[in-house]
């Protein structure tokens, strides 16, 4: 069987895989990183989003062999070693942007890429449009959009607006 060598969450891994193995399967079944979810098997829901070489990718659409030599970040790799949450994770927590939590890992990973790709800022309408590849069946997206908007200044080193009391 072919081998794939990649860096996942800062750690090197070499894994034997069948040619048809998907990246999501490698992460969940071979590396036991189960935060990346499989929600639809058709790349419609976004629950499987990870970052591959800094870009968000639906890991159910990518063969593990295509990730050979890549750097992959999963939801497990976002928090600091001391447990400090990534700003996006913190904003999802602070703004109650999850209910059942199934979509949350992919939503957070997509949201980070959205914010990093828009240093000029984002409107609510733009955030909603850019989230179209991620489905949430619980929240109605309102708090997810609020969390992403709140994370933008933090992630770009801008002053954080003070909430009205």
What is the per-residue pLDDT across 59-78, written as a single tens digit (0 to 9) for each? 999 999 999 999 999 999 99
CA angle 127–111–122, rounded 5-degree value:
35
Whether residue 14 is predicted with pLDDT greater than 90 in this model: the reply is yes
What is the per-residue pLDDT across 118-148, written as a single tens digit (0 to 9) for each? 999 999 999 999 999 999 988 779 999 999 9
Same domain, 24 and 53: yes
Domain stops at, among 13, 47, 76: 76
* Mean pLDDT for the chain overall: 94
Q: Would you state the pLDDT for residue 60?
A: 96
What is the per-residue pLDDT across 87-121, written as a single tens digit (0 to 9) for each? 999 999 999 998 898 999 999 999 999 999 999 99
User: How many separate domains does the chain show?
Assistant: 2
Tell me how far apart the alpha carbons of residues 137 and 45 are, in angstroms, rounded to a whole number.
10
Closest by CA to 14, choosing from 29, 30, 28, 35, is 30
Q: In angstroms, how far is CA 8 from the centroid of its own chain?
A: 13
Residue 7 counted as domain residue? yes
Same domain, 33 and 67: yes
Closest by CA to 58, choosing from 89, 101, 22, 34, is 22
List the structure tokens of 4.
């794939």
Expressed as residue numbers, the domain containing 60 is 3-76
Give residue for tokens 């829901």: 45
Please tell me the total number of residues recorded for the chain in this structure: 165
- The whole-model pTM stands at 0.93
């Amino acid at each position: 069987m072919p081998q794939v060598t990649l860096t996942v969450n800062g750690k090197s891994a070499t894994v034997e895989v069948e040619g048809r193995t998907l990246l999501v399967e490698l992460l969940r079944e071979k590396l036991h990183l189960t935060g990346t979810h499989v929600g639809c098997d058709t790349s419609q829901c976004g629950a499987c989003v990870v970052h591959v070489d800094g870009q968000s990718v639906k890991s159910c659409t990518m063969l593990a062999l295509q990730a050979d030599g890549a750097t992959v970040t999963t939801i497990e790799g976002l928090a600091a070693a001391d447990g400090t949450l990534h700003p996006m994770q913190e904003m999802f927590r602070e703004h109650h942007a999850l209910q059942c939590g199934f979509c949350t890992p992919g939503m957070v990973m997509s949201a980070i890429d959205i914010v990093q790709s828009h240093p000029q800022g984002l409107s609510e309408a733009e955030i909603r449009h850019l989230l179209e590849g991620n489905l949430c069946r619980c929240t109605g997206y309102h708090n997810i959009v609020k969390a992403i908007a709140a994370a933008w200044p933090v992630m770009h080193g801008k002053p954080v607006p003070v909430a009205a009391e």
